[in-house]
Amino acid sequence: MIKEIAFVAIAVSDKERARKFYQETLELKPGMTAMEGGWVEYDLGATTIGVGCWPGWDPSRDGTSVAFEVDEIDSTIATLKERGVVFDMEKTETPVCWMAQFRDPDGNKLLVHKRK
């Protein structure tokens, strides 16, 4: 019935602030943009992340999380900290990965992730 994930959607409250964060801080390249910049898609491998801002769809500190796979987790964490990102969960090891959690300007949970 379900074949794959079409996209992950992240609600934001300020489209310009969100674009600056996702494109400058995280260095994601925008793909499709719609609704006068209120919806921007970022294609990462086989997954698309849609960042959107419109009435009735509000960000939540306890909502969706996105884990970004990185090549070098320590240098990525260092770069993000240099850019002012504060981590609520420092680098943590699990049996299959390392990860660290931070938040975008609206409080949405994001992670950097490195598979073992």
Residues 6 or more apart whose CB falls under 8 angstroms from that of 34 comprise none
pLDDT of residue 101: 94
Confidence (pLDDT) at 110 = 93
DSSP state of 7: -
pLDDT at 2 (0 to 100): 59
State pTM to two decimals. 0.81
Per-residue model confidence (pLDDT) at position 5: 76
Q: What is the CATH number of domain 8-115?
A: 3.10.180.10
Q: Which residues of the chain have pLDDT under 50?
A: none
Please identify which residue in the block is written with the tokens 């969960």. 89
Q: Do residues 25 and 35 touch, judged by C-beta distance below 8 A?
A: no
- Cβ(65)–Cβ(110) below 8 Å: yes
For 81, how many CA atoms within 13 A lie in the half-sphere containing its CB?
Answer: 13
What pLDDT score does 63 carry?
Answer: 76
